[in-house]
């Protein structure tokens, strides 16, 4: 299948591109490189630099490359920034998808895979999180993702669009061979931040809160390997052969790890100490978030390869050891 990967030069998108190739598909990447990296792209993959607001450009790519399915990984993801600058997030995360779907429908492409987030649930009343639980986001980032999910439901009914949304938990890790990995600016994810602290690339890691209702007082989160996420996306392709459907799945391991457990994992894998200090809680951080992914396992046959967080950390450590400064600057 010819697959257009929007945001295919970013963290999850670039890993998905490689998993698409491994599964026998032909990916084409469209990315504006605001946060993506040319260095994440394989030379044999066709690349188009552009923005979703340019509907004529996107339409030309769809036609030229005979695209059959579109995957979207191009959202802005910084929760704090979404609070301070919500217009930026609505413009990119919602308006960009509206433009994309309009263009897809105009060019006869009706299969869409969307990267959503567990942030659509907000603060859960019970755990683990299952797909049927109420969605009440507590920040603009989560709200924009939920808005797109609702858009996809409506487009299924109105236009026969077939789509699937994957609600990620904490995407982590890197390609097994260390060829690509996580390189955000600024970096906000715990595993790379702990690695940076261990290697002296940054000061002591700040832990937000040590008085949560968890075994060690720090937040519990569900860390899932980026390649496992990617394989779930591809497993959904066969489900999109009908007309007018919207599917949604949680993607997580179901086994939460605390902040201190991640720090100990980085120390074990690297052989280095992770200097850290405690600070006050951040507003809106729940004690724990972890997934029930039974639906994805049952309906898609999804199998998680990386069940131990230390194995996930090991892949991240391999990438950062080989690339201490991230990807080459474009």
Instruction: Give the pLDDT confidence of 206-252 residue by residue, as tens digits.
Output: 999 999 999 999 999 999 999 999 999 999 999 999 889 999 999 99
Start-end of H helices in 78-189: 79-84, 86-89, 96-106, 140-159
Whose tokens are 């789509």? That residue is 163
Whose tokens are 């046959």? That residue is 301
Instruction: Give the pLDDT confidence of 23-68 residue by residue, as tens digits.
Output: 999 999 999 999 999 999 999 999 999 999 999 999 999 999 999 9
Torsion of CA 81, 182, 19, 8, to 10 degrees: 50
Instruction: List strands edge to edge, sheet with 69-72.
Output: 46-49, 26-31, 2-6, 69-72, 111-117, 162-168, 246-251
**Distance between CA atoms of residues 200 and 135, nearest Å:** 39
- The candidate with the shortest Cα–Cα distance to 146, out of 159, 162, 133, is 133
Instruction: Give the pLDDT confidence of 38-48 residue by residue, as tens digits.
Output: 999 999 999 99
pLDDT at 73 over 80: yes
Q: Compute the average pLDDT of residues 57-80.
A: 97
Single pTM value for the model: 0.96
Categorize the per-residue pLDDT at 184 as very low, low, confident or very high, splitting at 50, 70 and 90: very high
CB 93 within 8 Å of CB 144:
yes
**Distance between CA atoms of residues 51 and 2, nearest Å:** 20
- Biggest CA–CA distance in the chain, Å, is 56
- The candidate with the shortest Cα–Cα distance to 124, out of 229, 302, 256, is 256
Instruction: Give the pLDDT confidence of 90-141 residue by residue, as tens digits.
Output: 999 999 999 999 999 999 999 999 999 999 999 999 999 999 999 999 999 9
Q: What is the model's pLDDT at position 329?
A: 81
Query: For the residues of 3-30, what is the DSSP string, one character each?
Result: EEEETTTSHHHHHHHHHHHHTT-EEEEE
Write the CB contacts of 238 (distance below 8 Å, at least 6 apart in sequence): none
pLDDT at 330 over 80: no
Q: Which residues of 188-224 are buried (b: 16+ CB within 10 A; e: fewer)?
A: ebbbbbbbbbbbeebeebebebbebebeebbbbbbbb
The residues carrying an active-site annotation are 141
Instruction: Give the pLDDT confidence of 245-273 residue by residue, as tens digits.
Output: 999 999 999 999 999 999 999 999 999 99
Instruction: Give the pLDDT confidence of 208-221 residue by residue, as tens digits.
Output: 999 999 999 999 99
Q: Compute the average pLDDT of residues 63-75.
A: 98
Q: What is the model's pLDDT at position 282?
A: 87
Write the CB contacts of 34 (distance below 8 Å, at least 6 apart in sequence): none
């Amino acid at each position: 299948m010819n697959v257009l990967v929007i945001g295919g030069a970013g963290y999850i998108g670039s890993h998905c591109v490689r998993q698409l190739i491994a599964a026998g598909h032909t990916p084409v990447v469209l990315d504006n490189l605001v946060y993506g990296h040319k260095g994440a792209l394989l030379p044999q993959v066709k690349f188009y630099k552009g923005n979703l607001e340019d509907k004529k450009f996107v339409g030309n790519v769809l036609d030229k490359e005979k695209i059959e399915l579109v995957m979207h990984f191009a959202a802005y993801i910084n929760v704090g920034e979404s609070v301070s600058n919500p217009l930026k997030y609505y413009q990119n995360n919602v308006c960009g998808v509206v433009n994309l779907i309009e263009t897809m429908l105009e060019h006869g492409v009706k299969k869409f895979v969307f990267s959503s987030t567990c942030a659509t649930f907000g603060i859960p009343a019970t755990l683990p999180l299952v797909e049927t639980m109420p969605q009440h986001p507590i920040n603009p980032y989560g709200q924009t993702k939920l808005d797109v999910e609702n858009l996809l439901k409506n487009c299924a009914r109105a236009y026969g669009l077939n789509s699937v949304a994957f609600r990620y938990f904490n995407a982590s890790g890197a390609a097994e061979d260390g060829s690509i990995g996580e390189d955000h600016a600024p970096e906000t994810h715990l595993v790379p931040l702990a690695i940076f602290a261990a290697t002296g690339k940054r000061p002591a890691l700040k832990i937000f809160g040590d008085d949560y209702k968890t075994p060690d007082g720090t937040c519990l989160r569900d860390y899932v390997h980026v390649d496992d996420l990617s394989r779930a996306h591809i497993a959904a392709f066969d489900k999109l052969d009908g007309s007018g459907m919207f599917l949604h799945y949680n993607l997580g391991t179901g086994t939460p790890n605390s902040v201190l457990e991640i720090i100990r994992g980085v120390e074990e894998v690297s052989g280095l100490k992770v200097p850290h200090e405690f600070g006050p809680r951040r507003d809106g951080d729940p004690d724990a978030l972890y997934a029930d992914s039974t639906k994805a396992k049952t309906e898609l046959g999804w199998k998680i390869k990386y069940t131990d967080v230390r194995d996930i950390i090991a892949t991240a450590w391999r990438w950062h050891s080989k690339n201490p400064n991230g990807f080459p600057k474009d």
